[in-house]
Amino acid sequence: WIQQKILGAVKRSSPMIRLPNSVWEAWQKIRAAERILQASATTRETYTDYDIGELTGMSVRSIERFREKVHLAKVVPIAAVAPDDDHEWDFLAAGPDDQYNVELIEMRSVIAAILGHVSPEDRRLICLKYGYVEGVLNERIDPNHALREILRQLACSAILHRDMASAAELMDSAQAPGPLPA
C-alpha cells in the first residue's frame, strides 16, 4: 500500500512528461507479453525482444523505441533552486554514460515529489520504509539533523523489533502445552 500511495501521489503532483495514450497502450501490451513469458517455465529466463514481438505483433525495433519513450517519461530528476524547498523539475534523459544513476534518479524524483504532499505521519513512514533522511535530495542537510533522523529511525526500528519479539513470545507461551496431569 505504501508503493500504491507513492505512485498515486506522483501521478497527481509531479509534472511528468506526457506521452500519447497509444504509447502507453503499446507499453501495456509489451508488459503483458513479458509477464506471460516470465510465467512460462520454458521461457522465464531466456526470452528476448523477438519473443515479445511475436506475442504483440510488433518489431524488435518498435519495442525498443517504446521502452526508450517510456523510460524517458519515468526519469525525472529533481534540482533544488531555493532554500525554501521549492523545486525546479528538469526533464533530463539518462544517457549511455549515466545508466548506473537511473534507479537513483527515479527514486529521488519519486521521494521528493511525495514528501512534499503527504501528511507528517505518512512522511515519517515513508522515510522509515526507504531509509531516507529528509533534506538529502537537495544536499542542504544539516549534519546534526541527519544524525537525529538516523537515530530516530534506529530507535523506531528497535521498538518495532522489540514489540514483534514480545508478541511472538506471548503467542509461543499461549500455544505451549501445560504440564500433563498425573
Task: Judge residue 132's burial from the number of C-beta atoms within 10 Å of its C-beta, 0-12 exposed, 13-18 middle, 19 or more buried.
Answer: buried
Per-residue confidence (pLDDT) for residue 97, from 0 to 100: 43
Q: What is the pLDDT of residue 128?
A: 62
What pLDDT shows up at residue 85? 41
- In this prediction, residue 95 carries a pLDDT of 44
Identify the pLDDT of residue 71: 66
pTM (global) more than 0.85: no
What is the reported pLDDT for 11? 63
pLDDT at 79: 39
What is the spatial distance between Cα 91 and Cα 15, in angstroms, rounded to a whole number? Answer: 9
**Cell numbers of 109, please?**
524524483
Cα gap 125→123, rounded to integer Å: 5
**Which three cell numbers, joined as nine digits, stand for 168?**
511472538
Cα separation, 78 vs 101, whole angstroms: 13
Residues whose CB falls within 8 Å of the CB of residue 138, separated by 6 or more in sequence, listed in order: 80, 85, 87
So what's the pLDDT on residue 90? 38
Compute CA distances 54 → 11, 60, 79, 169, whole Å: 32, 9, 41, 55
pLDDT string in tens for the chain (182-residue length): 677 777 676 666 555 556 677 887 888 899 899 888 888 877 777 888 898 899 899 998 998 888 877 765 554 444 333 344 444 333 344 444 444 455 666 666 666 666 777 777 677 666 666 656 554 444 455 666 666 766 777 777 778 788 888 887 877 776 655 555 55
